[in-house]
Amino acid sequence: MSRFSDEEIAAYLDGEGDPSLGERLEARAAEDAELRGRIEALTVDKQAIAEAFEGLLGASPHMPTEALTKAAPLSRTDVWRTPGALAGAAAACLAIGLGVGFQLASYRGDGATRNKMVQEAPLESWRDYAAAYHALYVTDTLTHVADDDAARVRELDRASRAVGLPLDGVRAPIDELQFRRAQLLGFEGRALVQVAFLSATGAPMALCVINSPNAGDSEVALETRRDMASASWSQPGLEFLLIGGRDAALTKRAAETLRRRLSAS
């Protein structure tokens, strides 16, 4: 089993890793099929992204200068350098630049991956950005994550510390969802955690947790975001969003389970 992290592979692909990292990774990949698959999964098709955005940019409305000055620059520590994070940042930047948000939604159906552009309202709240990021996930985004329990425990521990909430409860079975990984992101200076799952049908789903000092207790509320089923709720100091797929009943059941487990932590 390969022991290279996603961050190390992404640094290698970006040409930012030290020479010894590249040499070790290439030597291991020559005899490790799993590692070769992870490298392939983490390779960003920059040309495809550029072609997808090219048509939109030509038809975009004028962007007021003052709007650009309000956009805070992203720190490299705000998101992990993975293709999903890079694609999410690209989608968010495009939405700001156009003045109207567009979703590049990728989902799997009948064994094939299809893309569509859906016109949306501008990205405003943290939930909007989390939804736009998750809309770029496909089944293969998570199937290539290595089955490394020790690594997942470390990821959850880091995420738990960031938001001040024990997240071990996500590891136990939640309806038909399979826990795949946890990531630490950020929004307007606040820690934002994303815990990713795969459903039994291969639909990527994510639990997002963000620090919110003014939040109080609220029940689970269902809605649709970017053509995906979602559920949101809160508890003192924290807000939650479960999103992904189109099975509203599954989303509701899983959200209720997560609310009970995490509020009892």
**Burial of 233: CB neighbours in 10 Å, binned 0-12, 13-18, 19+:** buried
Q: Say whether pLDDT at 237 is over 90.
A: yes
Do 58 and 32 have their domain in common? no
Residue 65 lies in a domain: yes
Do 157 and 258 have their domain in common? yes
Q: Which CA distances in Å does 229 have to 49, 221, 253? A: 25, 11, 12
Percentage above 90 pLDDT, the chain: 42
- Stretch among 39-43, 85-89, 131-135 having the lowest mean pLDDT: 85-89
Q: In this predicted model, which residue has the larger pLDDT, 210 or 44? A: 210
Do 192 and 206 have their domain in common? yes
**Tell me, what's the pLDDT at 265?**
53
Q: Residue 222 in contact with residue 252, Cβ under 8 Å? A: yes
**Tell me, what's the pLDDT at 219?**
95
Range of the domain at 58: 46-141
Residue 155 lies in a domain: yes
- Residue 52, Cβ neighbours under 10 Å: how many? 16
Question: What are 240's strand-pairing partners?
Answer: 209, 233
Q: Residue 203 in contact with residue 245, Cβ under 8 Å? A: yes
pLDDT tens across 147-178, in order?
Answer: 888 888 999 999 999 999 999 999 988 988 99
**Highest mean pLDDT: which range of 1-15, 53-67, 226-240:** 226-240
**Tell me, what's the pLDDT at 17?**
67
Residue 61 lies in a domain: yes
Do 237 and 154 have their domain in common? yes
Q: Residue 56 in contact with residue 98, Cβ under 8 Å? A: yes
> Position of tokens 């999903």?
84
Do 63 and 90 have their domain in common? yes
Q: Which long-range contacts (CB under 8 A, 24 or more apart) does 172-180 make?
A: 172/261, 174/254, 174/257, 174/258, 175/250, 175/253, 175/254, 175/257, 176/200, 176/250, 177/205, 177/250, 177/254, 179/152, 180/142, 180/145
**Tell me, what's the pLDDT at 72?**
45
Q: Domain boundary at 81, 114, 141, which?
A: 141
State the amino acid at position 22 in one-letter form.
G
Do 156 and 97 have their domain in common? no
Number of domains in the chain: 3
Do 88 and 129 have their domain in common? yes
| 146 band by pLDDT with thresholds 50, 70 and 90 | confident
**Tell me, what's the pLDDT at 239?**
97
User: The domain spanning residue 224 has which CATH number?
Assistant: 3.30.200.100
Report the alpha-carbon distance of residue 52 to residue 140 in Å, rounded: 20
Residue 165 lies in a domain: yes
**Tell me, what's the pLDDT at 54?**
54
Q: How many residues does the chain have?
A: 265
Four-point Cα dihedral 176, 145, 81, 141, nearest 10: -60
Residue 175 lies in a domain: yes
| 250 band by pLDDT with thresholds 50, 70 and 90 | very high
Q: In this predicted model, which residue has the larger pLDDT, 2 or 112? A: 2
Residue 1 lies in a domain: no
Residue 204 lies in a domain: yes
Q: Which CA distances in Å does 158 have to 154, 177, 230? A: 6, 22, 25
Q: Domain boundary at 141, 166, 188, which?
A: 141
Residue 208 lies in a domain: yes
- Stretch among 45-49, 222-226, 258-262 having the lowest mean pLDDT: 45-49
Provide the token pair at 194.
Answer: 């994303």
Do 151 and 88 have their domain in common? no
Q: Domain boundary at 141, 156, 186, which?
A: 141
Question: Average of pLDDT values for 98-112?
Answer: 37
